[in-house]
Chains A and B, each alone.
Chain A
Amino acid sequence: MKPRMRSWIIALIAAILFVGGLFWVRANPPAGEPDPLVDARDQLVERLGLEVALEAGPGGGLRVEGVRPDSPVDRAGIQVGDRLMACGDRSVWHVHQLVQFIAEDLGVAPAVSLMMERDGVYWNVLLGGRPRAMREAVGRGFAQRVSAPVA
Chain B
Amino acid sequence: MMTQAAFVYTPRFNDYDFGPGHPLKPIRVARTHELLRACGLLEPASVSVVKPSVADEGAVALVHTREYIDAVRAPSEGRSVRRPLEFGLGTIDNPIVEGLYEGSAIIVGASVLAADLVIDGKADVAFNPAGGLHHAHRARAAGFCVLNDCAVAIAHTLKRCGDGTKAVYVDIDAHHGDGVQEAFYDRRDVLTISLHESGRYLFPGTGSVSEIGEGEGKGFSVNVPFSPYTHDEIYLWAFREVVVPLLEAFEPDFVFTQLGVDTHHTDPLTHMSCTTRGYMGVVEEIAQRAPRWIAFGGGGYDVTAVPRAWTLAFARMAQLEAPQRIPDSQAEHYGKAEKPIPLHDAETPVIDEDWARVAREFAEESVKEIRERVFEFHGLGEGD
Contacts and interface: CB of A to CB of B under 8 A. Distances in A.
Interface of A: 58-60, 85-86, 88-91, 113, 115, 119-122, 124, 134, 137-138, 140-143
Contacts of B207: 89
Contacts of B199: 86, 88-90, 115
A134 B358 CA distance: 10
B205 A121 contact: no
Interface stretch (B29-37, B266-274, B371-379): B266-274
A143 B211 contact: no
A113 B85 contact: no
Contacts of B198: 89
Interface stretch (B46-54, B88-96, B164-172): B88-96
- Identify which of B93, B203, B269, B355 gathers the most chain A CB atoms within 10 Å of its CB: B203
B206 interface: yes
B122 interface: no
Given A88-B199, A115-B203, A141 B268 contact: yes
Given A60-B140, A115-B205, A142-B203, A120 B85 contact: yes
A-B CB proximity, top 5 nearest: A120-B91, A115-B205, A89-B199, A86-B205, A89-B208
Interface in B283-303: none
A88 B94 contact: no
A134 B140 CA distance: 33
13 contacts: A58-B86, A59-B87, A59-B88, A59-B140, A86-B205, A89-B208, A115-B199, A122-B205, A124-B200, A124-B202, A137-B228, A141-B269, A142-B203
B210 interface: yes
Interface in B136-154: 137, 139-140, 142
B206 A121 contact: no
B204 interface: yes
A127 to B, nearest CB: 12
> How many interface residues does chain B have, given as a range?
35 or more
A90 B271 contact: no
Given A59-B88, A91-B211, A138 B201 contact: yes
Nearest to A105: B200
A122 B204 contact: yes
B252 interface: no
B225 interface: yes
B86 A121 contact: no
A141 B91 CA distance: 18
Contacts of A137: 228, 271, 355
Contacts of B85: 59, 119-120
Contacts of A88: 199-200, 208
Nearest to A116: B205
A122 B203 contact: yes
Nearest to B84: A120
Interface string B257-285: 00000000000111100000000000000
A138 B271 contact: yes
B225 A89 contact: yes
Given A59-B86, A115-B205, A121 B91 contact: yes
A141 B93 contact: no
Nearest to A87: B205
